[in-house]
Amino acid sequence: MPFKFSFCGKAEKELFHVLDYSHKNLLNVPTEIYEHAQALEDLYLDANQLKDLPKALFTLQHLRTLNISDNEIISLPSNVSNLIHLIEFDLSKNGFLELPDNIKGMKSLEHFDLSVNPLGRLPDGFTMLLNLTHVYLNDTFLDFLPANIGRMSKLEVLEVRDNHLTMIPKSMSRLQSLRRLDLGNNEFNDMPEVIGTFTNLEELWLDGNKIKQVPPEIGNLQKLRYFDITENALEWLADEIGECFSMTDLHFSTNNIESLPENLCKLKFLETLKVDDNRLRALPTSIGGLSNLEELICSSNELVNLPPGIGLLRKLKNLNADENYIEELPEEVGSCISLTVVSIRQNRLLHLPDEIGRLANLTVFNISSNMIENLPYTLMKLKKLKALWLSENQAKPLIPLQMDWDEANEKRYLTCYMFPQRPIEIYDEAQSVEDNRESINQSLMEEEWKKRTSVVFDLDDDDPQVVRLSRQPTPFPKDIRDKINQFRTQSIAKGHVSNNHSVGEHVVPQHPYAPADEIETKLHGHGKSALNGHHEPYAGHQNAPQQHMTEEEKMLLEQLQNTSLGGAGSGPHNDAPSVPVAPRTNHVNFSVPIIPSPISGRRYPDDEENNSMENIHLSVGDTKKQIKLSSDSGLGSSEMGDDHQQWKNEYPAIPEEGEVFRVTIKKTPNLGFSVSGGKDAPGNPFRPGDTGIFITRVIPDGPAADVLQPGDKLLEVNGNDFRCVQHETAVNVLKASQEVHLVVARRASNNEQT
């Protein structure tokens, strides 16, 4: 009889098939995982702070899933090919610069994610992973894909978003199992022809490229369900797109499309159509053929109406046609009985059809910024309505409506204090983008034009007397400031330095580096003269100031001149007591931006020092020329010429208008301010009874930031009288030019606020 022996000892430790160490702030791979080597299949080490992977990790022969995403790993050990049973491998969000070529030994690999790594290229052995079905190479700095990628015939999902691809290999035509292809945010100028061979493709992403047309080959993709080609340069769509019979989602937003092909309406399964931010003038008349359409987004186009066929869209739930030129809605819109959200904001609607009351499921209705006189009484039937937006400034989604009687049409209508509507078309250039999709980043543009800001004197380049003088701002020496002030007082009393001449010329007392608002104040009436003439030293005063001067006075005067010129060097006029602006200097570059702010009353921190140079003046000869202070970047500038006194007389500084001045502003790429008011507008927040055009907003760091301020009134723009003008006319004038010349009135209260 055999004996049975019983063994009493420590119980066997349980083995785990799955270990999850994600989000544990690990610095090293835990050693206890090796205790489960015989059973471990899934290991998750993502979202830690791992920098290295031990070679022992790649001895876990039974691993099927390994996730080391979101760490700080920069390389893989050479024995990575030992994981011959690994199916899913996630290396995304690390710092891999390259992969070992022997990765080709991972024959069982099906899902491989390398996204967000600075790889630059794929190893040659990558295309030998023939069992791969899902490959993610997003944001990996790739310039090209391997030429023999077509051998990976089992590939179903390929994502190569956010790279630098300009083409894809023709061998990809062998990828007949491909279901999803993402090439978004690359550098394609044309849609690759090879895409037309992917007959089983269901999702195609081409957004964020520079593609100009969709070729006829698109019609071969009859299983395609999702197509996104937003933010390209599309101008034309092939009619063959109507042959993608399985299509459910089409996204053409932010392109240059002017018309949609009629064949588009053959897509019976289409549920979402987005064509916003294009140049569409009309929707296809056969749009009613999209019988399953649920969402139609066509805002920011040039539509003047909606086709009557829209009434056949019985499943339509969301209709957005904001920012167009629609003047009326078709009566057939009442047949879209499934509509829940309708937004037709900022159009030119004058009235709504009575059939709008048939939209029993409507919950949100936005008709703000139109020109509607009243609402149809049938709106009372909309029992599910939760938000009726009539104005941009409306505080509550629903407001009480009152019934009234229309004598002319003999019918009831609804109204409230917000009717009749007046579109508040505040001209906000800071938020508009005018054909600027291919321009450089706006913040970079602003930094660039700030660096290049300069003062430009618009003078005759052919003048033989012109001398080029470049200068940099030099602070006035503090050690002799008191002596200079004392000397100036004595010089004025002796006639050496005068605030103005009386021998036919106009002089502007000015410091070359004084804040531009002080300069402009003197130019526009706060000084004793106006700038109007040619920059040549006046002969009668060229040597007079040095007569009857002591040696100390002459030395101080010479030092005063040299300091004012900012160390520009000697020139033909350096011995004159006055400091003429060199006529040939078209650009005088400063190391800091010049801020021309006429009569703004602002004070800058260095004003006290600059005021010590206040009485240095510009000598002006008999030849009259226009002098223009401007900025290369489009900063506000001031112009004074022969007509200075003329417009001063035309717009006198009466108490109601305050001070009147001129500025010139260039678009970079916009004017940087908003306006409201006009004789047809509801009013303005500054003077409710005034029908003029007022500045309501000035964008910080914009081209108008230092010359305009809220509350300023525009009297004239480019020669057009703005004192009694309609709002729409004013906006059109401001939009029409790249450079606007303004006559502005500012009340004294505005100056005090600044």
CATH number of the domain to which 239 belongs:
3.80.10.10
Q: Is residue 420 one of the residues assigned to a domain?
A: yes
Yes or no: say if 476 and 612 are a contact pair by the CB < 8 Å rule: yes
Q: How far apart are CA 227 and CA 235, in angstroms?
A: 17
392 and 260 share one domain? no
pLDDT of amino acid 220: 95
Pair of tokens at residue 479: 């050690």
Point out the domain boundary residue: 244, 279, 314.
279
- Bridge partners of 528, per DSSP, are none
Q: Is residue 496 one of the residues assigned to a domain?
A: no
Q: How far apart are CA 15 and CA 257, in angstroms?
A: 61
- SS3 assignment, position 711: coil
pLDDT of amino acid 705: 87
Q: Would you call 213 exposed, middle or buried from its count of C-beta atoms within 10 A (0-12, 13-18, 19+)?
A: middle
pLDDT of amino acid 414: 95
DSSP state of 49: -
pLDDT of amino acid 490: 58
DSSP state of 376: E
Q: At residue 66, what are phi and psi to the nearest 5 degrees? A: -135, 120
E strands along 282-399, which residues? 295-297, 318-320, 341-343, 364-366, 375-376, 387-389
Q: Which domain holds residue 75?
A: 27-178
53 and 163 share one domain? yes
Point out the domain boundary residue: 391, 425, 459.
425
207 and 346 share one domain? no
162 and 190 share one domain? no
50 and 124 share one domain? yes
pLDDT of amino acid 78: 87
Q: Is residue 275 one of the residues assigned to a domain?
A: yes
pLDDT of amino acid 483: 59
Q: At residue 303, what are phi and psi to the nearest 5 degrees? A: -70, 140
Which CATH number is 665's domain given? 2.30.42.10
Q: How far apart are CA 49 and CA 47, in angstroms?
A: 7
Q: Is residue 400 one of the residues assigned to a domain?
A: yes
195 and 140 share one domain? no
Q: Is residue 42 one of the residues assigned to a domain?
A: yes
Domain count, the chain: 4
Q: Is residue 90 one of the residues assigned to a domain?
A: yes
379 and 314 share one domain? yes
163 and 262 share one domain? no
Which residue is listed with tokens 């001398």?
467
Element holding 19 (H helix, E strand) = strand 18-20
Q: Return the number of other C-beta atoms located less than 10 Å from residue 678's C-beta.
A: 24
**Average pLDDT along the chain, 754 residues, taken 10 residues at a time:** 42 78 95 92 96 93 95 93 94 95 93 96 93 97 95 97 96 96 97 95 97 95 97 95 96 96 94 97 95 97 96 97 96 96 96 95 96 94 96 92 89 92 59 48 51 48 48 53 58 46 37 40 39 38 47 59 42 39 39 37 39 36 35 38 47 58 86 84 76 87 87 90 87 86 81 51
Pairing of strands 364-366, 387-389: parallel
Yes or no: say if 112 and 92 are a contact pair by the CB < 8 Å rule: no
- SS3 assignment, position 466: coil
Q: Tell me the pTM.
A: 0.58
Element holding 448 (H helix, E strand) = helix 442-451
E strands along 149-241, which residues? 157-159, 180-182, 203-205, 213-214, 226-228, 236-237
Q: Is residue 402 one of the residues assigned to a domain?
A: yes
User: Interior CA angle at 393 toward 391 and 396, to 5°?
Assistant: 85
Yes or no: say if 345 and 322 are a contact pair by the CB < 8 Å rule: yes
Q: What is the dihedral of CA 654, 657, 661, 666, to 10 degrees?
A: -160
pLDDT of amino acid 616: 32
Residue 655: which residues within 8 A CB-CB, separation 6 or more? none
Point out the domain boundary residue: 178, 206, 221.
178
Q: Is residue 97 one of the residues assigned to a domain?
A: yes
Q: What is the dihedral of CA 702, 703, 709, 711, to 10 degrees?
A: -100
pLDDT in tens, 250-291: 999 999 999 999 999 999 999 999 999 999 999 999 999 999
| The amino acid at 339 | L
194 and 262 share one domain? yes
Q: How far apart are CA 244 and CA 224, in angstroms?
A: 6
168 and 306 share one domain? no
Yes or no: say if 61 and 85 are a contact pair by the CB < 8 Å rule: yes
Three-state SS sequence of 114-126: CCCCCCCCCCHHH
pLDDT of amino acid 446: 55
Pair of tokens at residue 616: 């240095």
52 and 93 share one domain? yes
217 and 102 share one domain? no
